């Protein structure tokens, strides 16, 4: 089975993952925003630790109304733009099109399903250090693994085909048997490093070198682990140790929320912080340190909005 892909949000994630698929010869259409004309004229460039490549002829579109229907829609937008999906997606969906939300946080699939109750939906978690550094230009700094899992629909066979396509493109991919467990595990890393790099105006390597912020990062991770367990999701404390070790070996990095802050864009506070805090609290556990970080980020965001 040959799948037709559409990439919605062709930045740090969509540009890399969609670019890898297209570079491997897969049928991929990309939705671009500000750099549409640049990509039409110059193509898409990806500088990657696994090998640089350039797509000279990109199937680029300015509007989903002009795009053909897709078998798989890779949604790589920031969750702050998810309100646009009910307008962007209908024209490119057929009844079996699988929406794959390669996004951060908790609750994204459930919210999108409210607008697309009959559509197959999967979650995607990107373990990657990747930034958009210019028009049609992506820098892939480290890692790159993709984890996908079913949210609704009988789509295991399609996810296996997606996995095979990404493997052929050189992207390590797993199909998770438990999407919610995978989401909570990703939060173990996302919650400390996204927020703390913003609040302290720093990068991951500096957080890890300082004894006090290293300890706080670990304590935040353990709160997330306990919050997951309160919700009936099995995440071991050893997973926090694994994430600490991973960050120690990581290329110095400014996570996506830090880049959003630097560029005065809305930060993904709702799904990375607010939803997990509320979900754990409903299950009887108060993630106090995570909630404090959430409040600090909302204060900072309100200041950005006033500028």
User: Catalytic positions, please?
Assistant: 186
232 within 8 A of 217, measured Cβ to Cβ: no
Q: How far is CA 272 from CA 106, 132, 215, in A?
A: 6, 21, 21
Angle 45-50-54 from CA coordinates, rounded to 5°:
20
Euclidean distance between CA atoms 152 and 113, whole angstroms = 8
Euclidean distance between CA atoms 170 and 130, whole angstroms = 16
Euclidean distance between CA atoms 215 and 217, whole angstroms = 5
Taking the CA of residue 149 as centre, how many other CA atoms within 13 Å lie in the half-sphere pointing to its CB? Answer: 14
Euclidean distance between CA atoms 126 and 130, whole angstroms = 10
Quote the tokens at residue 265.
Answer: 């864009």
């Amino acid at each position: 089975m040959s799948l037709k892909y559409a990439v919605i949000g062709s930045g740090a994630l969509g540009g890399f993952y969609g670019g890898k698929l297209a570079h491997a010869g897969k049928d991929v259409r990309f939705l671009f925003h500000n750099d549409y004309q640049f990509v039409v004229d110059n193509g898409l460039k990806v500088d990657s630790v696994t090998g640089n490549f350039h797509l000279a002829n990109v199937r680029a579109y300015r509007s989903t109304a002009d795009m053909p229907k897709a078998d798989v829609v890779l949604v790589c937008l920031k969750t702050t733009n998810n309100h646009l999906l009910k307008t962007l997606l209908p024209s490119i969906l057929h009844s079996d099109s699988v929406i794959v939300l390669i996004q951060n946080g908790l609750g994204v699939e459930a919210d999108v399903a409210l607008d697309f109750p009959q559509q197959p939906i999967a979650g995607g978690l990107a373990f990657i250090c990747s930034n958009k550094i210019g028009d049609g230009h992506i820098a892939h700094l480290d890692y790159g693994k993709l984890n996908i899992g079913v949210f609704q629909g009988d789509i295991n066979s399609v996810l296996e085909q997606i996995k095979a396509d990404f493997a052929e493109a050189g992207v390590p991919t797993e199909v998770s048997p438990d999407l919610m467990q995978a989401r909570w595990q990703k939060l173990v890393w996302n919650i400390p490093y996204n927020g703390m790099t913003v609040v302290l105006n720093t990068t991951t390597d500096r957080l890890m070198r300082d004894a006090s912020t290293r300890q706080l990062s670990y304590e935040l991770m353990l709160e997330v682990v306990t919050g997951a367990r309160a919700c009936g999701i099995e995440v071991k404390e050893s997973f926090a140790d694994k994430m600490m070790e991973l960050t120690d070996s990581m290329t110095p990095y400014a996570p996506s929320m830090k880049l959003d802050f630097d560029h005065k864009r809305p930060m993904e506070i709702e799904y990375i912080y607010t939803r997990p805090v509320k979900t754990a609290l409903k299950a009887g556990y108060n993630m106090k340190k995570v909630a404090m970080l959430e409040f600090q980020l909302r204060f900072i965001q309100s200041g950005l909005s006033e500028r």
